[in-house]
Amino acid sequence: MKYKNIREEELKNKVGAEWFKSFDTTEIIGNIDFSVFPKQDSFFGRMPLLWAEAKTGDFDIPTMFVQLILTIGKARTFDKTLPPAFLGAFDYKKIAFVSYLSVQDIFYLNDFNWNVTPSNHETKEFKLIKERVESILEQNTYVYEYLKDEKDLKYFIANNVAKATETSKIKIDKNNFIPIYLRWLDIVKPIIDVNWDDLKKANILNSDFYLADLFVDDKDTHKIEDDLTIRDSLFVIFQNQGYKIAKENIKQMFDATINIRNKETYQQFWKRYKRPPLKEFQNYIIERRDLLVPQDIRERKGAFFTPRIWVELSQK
């Protein structure tokens, strides 16, 4: 057999060297066994292609994927870094791939205990995920044996993994809307054609533009012209491939219209995320606008940035 009777670290090294030599397989992502990145970073930074579970025996494929999913879900790795296009699982004999998008919904299960030990196969959580995973893998998995399927495996890596620089759309929830905002500050804020100092005097901040971007229906396309606001009550709303601020919010005679200087950069950023945020978290994100505001401004403005429910309680 290809990699029989070797330790896990050696297995990972050999798989990386033999099958993924055109990529960077040296990066460690939390407790994930194996990761694959392009050797060259994109304009938006490092875009992972694959996260995988490694085992030294001849292992059950669904079991390996369940352990990987529990490892990712426990650490909420997808909130801290962009997830890959593929998840994988390999042992000494074979390697399997599944698209991240096909299992993404598992990470948003309600009332699920992610604190279980991923390697404990007897927990009810492990068994629940395994049941879900088995049905998904029946439709969406790609399995290759290193020796028997060598040519097909090389083709899959070259034509799917290598070209998977456009990762699955990430769903936005209460855990990742702040990390996404921090990336937005670096990429999108600089291309908004506005005088930030003037807006700040009217209590309009960059976070208001971020919320305008979040609360659009993207129509499941990457095109900016398809984006429509779903919240007309925000201080800033997305409109006509730019932004609109109602005149009453800036104490002017007319509404303010603000353009985006580089629409291609804007589209490249937002094509990574599914908008609007998941419905069950939309009100929370609006209520916790204060989390997007620097502390010094929160302290100066007081209740203006305090969650409404806290203000109401303090006034009772």
* pLDDT (mean) for 42-47: 65
What is the model's pLDDT at position 310? 35
Distances (CA, A) of 74 to 69, 89, 108: 8, 18, 12
Residue 122 scores a pLDDT above 60: yes
pLDDT above 60 (res 123) = yes
Model confidence pLDDT, tens digit, residues 99-113: 998 998 899 888 899
Q: Which residue has the higher pLDDT, 280 or 314?
A: 280
Tell me the pLDDT band of 43, cut-offs 50, 70 and 90. low
Where in the chain are the domains?
8-168, 171-314
pTM for the full predicted model? 0.71
Is the Cβ–Cβ distance between 37 and 45 less than 8 Å?
no
State mean pLDDT over 238-266: 87
Residues 15-42 have a mean pLDDT of 92
What's phi and psi for 143, nearest 5 deg? -120, 130
Q: Give the bridge partners for 87, in sequence order.
A: 51, 98
Mention every residue, 6+ apart, whose C-beta is less than 8 A from residue 231: 211, 215, 237, 286
181 near 207, Cβ under 8 Å?
A: yes
Share of the chain above pLDDT 70, in %: 89
Mind spelling out the 3-state secondary structure of 43-87?
CCECCCCEEEEECCCCCCHHHHHHHHHHHHHHHCHHHHCCCCCEE
The amino acid occupying position 268 is Q
For CA atoms 262, 268, 272, 275, the dihedral sign is positive
What does the mean pLDDT of the chain come to? 87
CA distances from 158 to 22, 100, 164, 307 (A): 9, 18, 10, 49
User: Which residues touch 137 (CB under 8 Å, ≥6 apart)?
Assistant: 61, 62, 65, 96, 98
* The predicted structure's pLDDT at residue 166: 54
pLDDT recorded at residue 313: 35
pLDDT at 25 over 90: yes
What tokens appear for 284 in the block? Answer: 């929370």
pLDDT tens across 260-309, in order? 999 999 998 998 889 999 999 999 999 998 888 765 544 444 444 444 33
Identify the pLDDT of residue 221: 84
User: In this structure, are residues 213 and 275 in contact, taking their beta carbons and an 8 Å threshold?
Assistant: yes
Which pLDDT score is estimated for 308?
A: 39
What's the DSSP call for residue 193? -
Rounded Cα distance, 244 and 250, in Å:
11
Q: Residue 120 gets which letter from DSSP?
A: -
What is residue 280's predicted lDDT score, i.e. its pLDDT? 92
Q: Tell me what pLDDT residue 304 has.
A: 40
> What's the pLDDT score for residue 316?
38
> CA-to-CA distance for 126 and 70, rounded, in angstroms?
8
pLDDT, mean of residues 233-237: 92
Tell me the per-residue pLDDT of 146-173, one tens digit each, with 9 for 90 and over: 999 999 999 999 999 988 765 567 889 8
% the chain with pLDDT above 90: 62
| pLDDT given for residue 246 in this prediction | 86
Cross-strand bridge partners of residue 217? 228
